Structure 1
């Protein structure tokens, strides 16, 4: 149990309950009533105390969201494995039955039973595969994994606000908007709100509220008097890092996302097409005027469908696309954070420059010296206009 001090002498006791199995930190209150000062026990709660209560209530909601996304993500990952195994099993069985039906010579009950069974299995495989290609379970699972991670991150941000400074109503509104933005970016239900798995245009994932930089500006802690850890060199360094993020990292992951999306579309169409052709072929097995073509279609198309399904859903192409989209969103968010910070001309309203530089470096998987070297190399290569000098990517994480 840890005691968190609240402004004006009030103390609120909260218990941090860590779920070691799920990795989600949930917050429970050991008492829902703020302890009033003994000198004036009837005094009403202050606005600061109410804000703290609201933030803790939001933390509980965020922790619950993280657990929901985690559970649903596991469920949808199971969908992907189970449906892939079932479809491949039905497809291989249908192809085998089509071949056995042709060996029966086209007469008798065994021939008819094998032929009908093969056609029914192919039709069922086609229907299930069309649904699976539409919803992309592997991509759904990746969406929920990202949402769970971002909910945990938001949970930590709110806790840091309470621990480091006096929260305000702006912090409450900001936290609520972030929760709602996460809900819109990574919806839980499938019907009606599911994200388009085959968008016409690939764009970075956006899970933060619009015009976030204005709200961030309002809630930034006041820094030290003076330059607050900032210098002309540091500002130029941040501008160069932002430029590299935009020109290299974000652009590259959007380009990769387009390639993966194209591959996903081709596989999503090819799988049901092959099983459908297999169903047509197995239905006409034994027809004397079509010779051996129905058998060929029934067997070969089944084999091709199995290969395509394994590549698409076993290779989790949808998950790869979502990963690239979210990575591009991560870089876009970093760009916006850097640009909004540099636009603030009042140094006292900015986050401390040294702390901000360290955060940017760690988020990119770099040390401070590596971050400075990146900005220096980018600046020198652009001034020299050396076409042979290739800029390296800002991030070393992805």
Structure 2
């Protein structure tokens, strides 16, 4: 400490020259031009933030909406499988019942024909033929009421529509930004299909013989899209062609399907009455076998005709063959209001 104090006192006693004795250096700084300087563009940064935010909204949608869509998607997928299985089951019912009734009817007709052979057991064949005709008549009445062939077709349509809805929901989940409106629309469509294609056989099943034929309106009303017209990727020419096709469907196909539907309904009613009536006539003819020459003819012909009627009614589905839509809209545009093509080429 003593040495440090001594050194300090010696340093303080030094005679240093004053700063005024040194020449002051002259420093020249370059002039900086400030007229070319501008503030950063805030607007561009704001637009960049908006783009990032919009991308974030697409990548990270609302978790609650996504959860609801996944729940609806799971229910739709389950319904697709259920309607496919039930449709196959009801198709098997139709094939089994139709084959059984035709076999019973033809066997009864064969027994009625055998009674004309000399030495045949008349009483046994008569009773057997009569009871088999009566059994076929009862089964036909029940089958014509339930119409399992139509039930199978209903399940095929339900599975097709639910499959379409399933693909639509998956597309919205993968590439779109789903909202609560999408959830509500999907739920309305599921409920609409459930009402249009019920599963119970009795009580709520679709009327097989409606009193009036009219276009089916069951799909919920689609909300108006407020997005710009060019957001869907369609050009003007394609939109015009689709409008022409819709016009063709309204003018030609709607009236044609209503006309054919009325004819099909009348034919179905006639066949539904004719089948049990013919088997009933066969049963009456079997009762009088051996007592009248016309009894055997009525018994045989009634069974044969009943089998043919049943096969047409329950075994023959009138379907549409797949074909391409070729120049339908173009031909309508060339011919004006004279429409000759049908829009069913779409299907």
TM score, norm. by length of structure 1: 0.66
CA contact (8 A) 1:181 1:208 kept: yes
When residues 227 and 135 of structure 1 are mapped into structure 2, their CA distance, relative to the original with a 3 A threshold, is closer
CA contact (8 A) 2:282 2:302 kept: yes
- CA displacement 1:44-98 (0-9 Å, x = unmatched): xx9x211110110000100110111100100111111111111111111111222
Shift of 1:237: 4.3
The equivalent of 1:176 in structure 2 is 187
When residues 395 and 118 of structure 1 are mapped into structure 2, their CA distance, relative to the original with a 3 A threshold, is closer
Secondary structure of residue in 1 paired with 2:211 = coil
Shift of 1:228: 7.5
The equivalent of 2:10 in structure 1 is none
Q: Which structure features the higher share of strand residues?
A: 1
User: For 2:91, which of 74, 77, 81 is the aligned residue?
Assistant: 77
Secondary structure of residue in 2 paired with 1:396 = helix
CA contact (8 A) 1:104 1:111 kept: no
Query: Are 2:271 and 1:267 equivalent residues in the alignment?
Result: yes
Query: Are 2:185 and 1:185 equivalent residues in the alignment?
Result: no
The equivalent of 1:118 in structure 2 is 129
When residues 280 and 237 of structure 1 are mapped into structure 2, their CA distance, relative to the original with a 3 A threshold, is same
When residues 224 and 163 of structure 1 are mapped into structure 2, their CA distance, relative to the original with a 3 A threshold, is farther
Shift of 1:301: 0.8
Shift of 1:155: 0.5
Shift of 1:293: 2.1
When residues 138 and 228 of structure 1 are mapped into structure 2, their CA distance, relative to the original with a 3 A threshold, is closer
* Distance in 1 separating the partners of 2:190 and 2:305: 44
Shift of 1:166: 1.9
CA contact (8 A) 1:90 1:125 kept: yes
Query: Are 2:244 and 1:240 equivalent residues in the alignment?
Result: yes
Secondary structure of residue in 2 paired with 1:391 = coil
Alignment gaps of 5+ in structure 1: 11-45, 328-362
Structure 1 runs (4+) greater than 6 angstroms displaced: 224-228
CA contact (8 A) 1:267 1:312 kept: yes
Shift of 1:261: 2.2
Of structures 1 and 2, the one scoring higher in RCO (CA 8 A, sep 6+) is: 2
User: For 1:128, which of 120, 126, 139 is the aligned residue?
Assistant: 139
Alignment gaps of 5+ in structure 2: 1-54
- CA displacement 1:319-348 (0-9 Å, x = unmatched): x3xx58xx9xxxxxxxxxxxxxxxxxxxxx
How many residue pairs match? The answer is 293
The equivalent of 2:308 in structure 1 is 307
* Distance in 1 separating the partners of 2:182 and 2:316: 42
CA contact (8 A) 1:268 1:312 kept: yes
* Distance in 1 separating the partners of 2:117 and 2:158: 53
